[in-house]
Every structure is written in C-alpha cells, then in structure tokens.
Structure 1
Amino acid sequence: MSNSVYYCGGKNSLSRLTFNKLVSSLGCHIFSARLLHQYHFVDEPMNWTEAQTYCRKKHTDLATIENGEEVMQFRNTFLPFEYNSKVWIGLYSKLNWEWSDGYEGPGADYKKWKVNEPNFYIDNELCVASGGNNDPWHDDPCSKNHRIICNNGAKLDPKFIIVKEGMNWPNAQKYCRENFVDLATLRNDNESLEIQTMVENGWAWIGLFRDPHIYWSDGSSFSFKYWFTGPKPLNSLSLVCGVADLQASGKWTLFPCDRKLPFVCYSTRVIRQVVKLRMKPGDSSVDLNDPAVKEDLLKKFQDRLKTRGVKGVTLKWIKQSDGKVFHKDGKSSQKKKRNKSEL
C-alpha cells in the first residue's frame, strides 16, 4: 500500500510542539492547539460551599489551576472587572492533627499553640515543634532540623527524653521508635510545660502532625502549587478553603470556609478538531482500514500521550462518506506514474 491519508479527531489539550514531537517518530505530521480552562468571575459573595454549589450548577466546578499558563488565564479573567482582592477557588484541606503514636485517649485533642499558630506560613508546615522558655507550639516544615522529644514510658505514664541531635521530623520519628517508644504525645498543660523546660531555648519536635493532603473541588490531582508565602491562620479550624489573592498575583492562601467572598468557576469547552495525518506503512500488505489495525494505532497514540503525562485527550477515527478512514494518496500514485513514464 502506498502513502495513505487518514483523519482522527476529539478533545485535545496538547500544545502543537508536544503533539508534533509525539507523532514525528511515527512518520506522521499533525497540527493541534491547546485548550485551557475557561474561567468565570462571579461577583456575588458566598461562602465556599455555596460557591461550589453555584459553580457546579451553572458551569463545571470552582476554579482549578494546574499550571503556570492557567495562572495567567485565571488572572486575565479579571481584566474587564474593577476587582482586585480575594476570591474563592476550588482548593480545600482537612486539618486532621494526629499523634505519632496513634494516641486517641483522654487529652488527645489538647493543643498549646503559640499566638497566631498554626499558620501554614510556607508550604509543607505539617509538623509541630515546641519552643522553650514558655514558648508554645507552632507548625513548621517537616524538613527542618530540630532537637527532638521522645517518650520512653507508657502512653498514660510518659517519660520524656530530649535528644539534642538535630534532625527532620520523619527521621526524628524513626529515631524515637528505634531507640525509645515514639515521639512525645502531650495531653495537658503540665506535660507541655515540662517539655518547654527541657527545651530551654530554640525548638524541638514533638509527635503532632497533620494530613498533608490538599484537594481540588473537582477531584483534580494537586501537584502544581502557587502558595502565598506569609501567615495563613488555621487556628483551631478543622476545614479550610482556598483563596486566590489578586493583590498577590493570584497566589493562594487559606481561609475559614464560612467567609463570604466572590468566587471563580470554570467550564470546559469541548473542541472537536480534525487532524490530518500522512502515513506510509512499512508492510504494504497491511490494511489500515482493518478494525484491529485501527484500534492498535489509536492505542499506540494514547500510550504515547500517557508516557508524556498528557491527560484529558481522546482520539477517535472519523469515517469518510464511503465508510473508510484511510485512502491511498492520489498525488503519490500520480507521481509514481510520472516517474515510470520518464523511464
């Protein structure tokens, strides 16, 4: 079989460069475009749950932002409006504080936070350290190195031990479990004051930490991050919701979900594109219109997309008026005839 032309179409979210690289190794040529979220600003203050309900009814969901291009798309949404403050987006997080040893008995909910703590000041402040000199607890990035407080007694009769070697929270947990019982669990003011006396100055890890997961309302994967560096008061909240601060280039912070704020929804436009490809099979006996062959080709395309981390793409063959997808390239046949006549 000579060179053949075929068509495929479907939802596409690839850049031209990415898709051309994808198919060039298959001997094909293709043109495509990129589809970003379409954002909708709603200047009607609601709490986060009300905003979520509105967006799901009128559009797709509260705004999801998954890369730098979508940050720009999001910010451009506000150009026609005279608004430059905070808006709800689809982020939320459950503040589930736990003790390393799994303690859930009396006093498990005890907290001795420093004023304005916890505040998730920078990304990954998910672990808790206690200060000395009557300086209570604060959340800190788990990667920081601090001294550690281990428990070498029973859960209900702890014996606290300070380890002056600095290490991050995961290594501190491992060290305490290997050499003692676990990181310290503190259930009341007396135990908290005892720890502060042992620390004297600086900070030391205790066993408190929280669920690291942050979610998008539409269930999208949370991998891209655009956090505002600064205080994000969590206080004693068990649930916090995401805000984009337009005065800080749209960077994200966390607020109590019952606040009344304007918000941004998003919708997804389905764009059907006709993509023209030219192929020359290595084996002339292969029938490209064979259903098994067409299915195998589509699978190879989809697998290539997955290996490059491209999501949300569906490829389908489009049949022409005669019911076939592939046709021999007439120009190629004519060229061959001319070459023969010249001989």
Structure 2
Amino acid sequence: MYKRSVLVALLNTALHCGLFAGPNVTFVLNNNPMSWTQAQNYCREHHTDLASVRNMAENQRVKELVPLGQFVWIGLFRDSWKWSDGSNSSFRYWQTGEPNNQSGDEACVSTNFDSSGVWEDWSCRARKEFICYSKREWSPMI
C-alpha cells in the first residue's frame, strides 16, 4: 500500500506533462513556468522538493521527461552548489563554459535538453518549467 505522499504525487500527475518512477524517487515535470523560488515552494508543497540529480542515471531519467529543446529548473543552487533539500552535490553535469555567472546573478541551475541534458547557471528570477521529486515510501501490508 502506498503512503499518502506517493499517492498524492501520483494523483497530481494529471496536472503535469510527465512522471518517471524509479527505485527511490519519482520525478515529475511541471510545465507551468515559475521562478526557481516559486518552483521550489510548489515542489515542497505538492511533492518533496525540486529534483536533486545525484548521478548520470538520474540525469537520464529527468531527460526522458523533458521535451527536446526545453530548459527546466532542477534543485541545484549556488551556495557551494547545494541541492534545494540542503544536501551536498557531488555529481554535476555542466555545459562547457558553465557555470559562468554571465549576468552576475546566475545562482540557480537549469538543465538544457536541446542535446545531452547538460546544466547551465541562470538567474533565479527566470521563469522555467521544472522537475520535482517525491520520495518513494512503502508501507507493509497488514
């Protein structure tokens, strides 16, 4: 039997473009553009948080949700490059020349799915679609 958090995430998928369930987390694409902070708040209210992409396999799972050529927020931000949930980032998949802080306020990370799913730093005020995640939790059947 599913715990409530996973059930709610599954019920909310009608509002989203895509859903990908893996062994530990479910990634959900929300195609309503928001700033990074608005997206973070939305994910925390309706799921767990903005997506933490911890390895190439998870990056590929996220890539499979996102239409070709689309940029989406993930949960990485420039505070020693931490994830939105406060955990450290050991995996990063930067576009060549990134992060570059080109505009001087590029503290949030968007994935670039026009090719291989590489990451770029952007102004957190930009409005983009985004990826949330929900932890998969299971309750034993009684």
Match of 2:63 in 1: 75
Match of 1:227 in 2: 94
Match of 1:62 in 2: 50
Change in 2 beyond 3 A, CA 1:68/1:259: same
1:84 matched to 2:72? The reply is no
CA–CA distance in structure 2, aligned partners of residues 85 and 37 of structure 1: 22
1:247 matched to 2:114? The reply is yes
Match of 1:331 in 2: none
CA shift, 1:232, in A, is 4.4
CA shift, 1:83, in A, is 5.1
In the alignment of these two chains, the number of paired residues is 120
Structure 1 residues 269-284: aligned runs within 5 Å: 269-272=136-139
CA–CA distance in structure 1, aligned partners of residues 118 and 103 of structure 2: 23
Structure 1 residues 135-154: aligned runs within 5 Å: none
CA shift, 1:67, in A, is 1.2
Structure 1 residues 46-125: aligned runs within 5 Å: 46-78=34-66, 82=67, 84-94=69-79
CA–CA distance in structure 2, aligned partners of residues 237 and 226 of structure 1: 21
Change in 2 beyond 3 A, CA 1:262/1:229: same
RMSD value over aligned CA atoms?
Answer: 2.2
CA–CA distance in structure 1, aligned partners of residues 56 and 98 of structure 2: 23
Which has the larger strand fraction?
2
* TM-score normalised according to structure 1 size: 0.32
Match of 2:84 in 1: 217
**Unaligned ranges ≥5, structure 2:** 1-21
CA–CA distance in structure 2, aligned partners of residues 84 and 36 of structure 1: 27
CA–CA distance in structure 2, aligned partners of residues 36 and 226 of structure 1: 21
Per-residue CA deviations over 1:179-203 (Å, capped at 9, x if unaligned) read: xxxxxxxxxxxxxxxxxxxxxxxxx
* TM-score normalised according to structure 2 size: 0.74
Sequence identity percentage: 36
Larger-gyration structure (1/2): 1
CA shift, 1:252, in A, is 1.0
Change in 2 beyond 3 A, CA 1:259/1:53: same
**Code of the aligned partner of 1:74:** V
> Runs of 4+ in structure 1 displaced over 4 angstroms?
none
